[in-house]
A = this chain, B = another copy of it.
Amino acid sequence: MKQKKDLSQLLREKGYKITAQRKAVLDVVEAHDGEHLSSQEIYDLVRKKFPEVGVATIYRTLPVLEELGFIYAVDFEDGCTRYELHRTGQTHRHHHLLCERCKKITEVEDDLLEEIEDKIYGNYGFKIKDHRVKFYGLCKECDNKDNKDNNDGFDT
On A, residues with C-beta under 8 Å from B are 73, 75, 77, 97, 99-100, 106, 108, 110, 112-113, 115-117, 119-120, 123-140, 143
Contact = CB atoms under 8 A, between A and B. Distances in A.
24 contacts: A73-B77, A75-B77, A97-B120, A97-B126, A99-B126, A100-B129, A110-B123, A112-B116, A112-B120, A120-B135, A124-B139, A125-B139, A125-B140, A125-B143, A126-B138, A126-B139, A126-B140, A126-B143, A129-B136, A131-B136, A132-B132, A132-B136, A133-B133, A133-B134
Contacts of A131: 133-136
A115 to B, nearest CB: 8
A130 B134 CA distance: 9
Contacts of A126: 97, 99, 106, 135, 137-140, 143
A127 B146 CA distance: 12
A25 to B, nearest CB: 21
B127 A119 contact: no
A54 to B, nearest CB: 22
Contacts of A130: 135-137
Given A129-B137, A137-B129, A97 B124 contact: yes
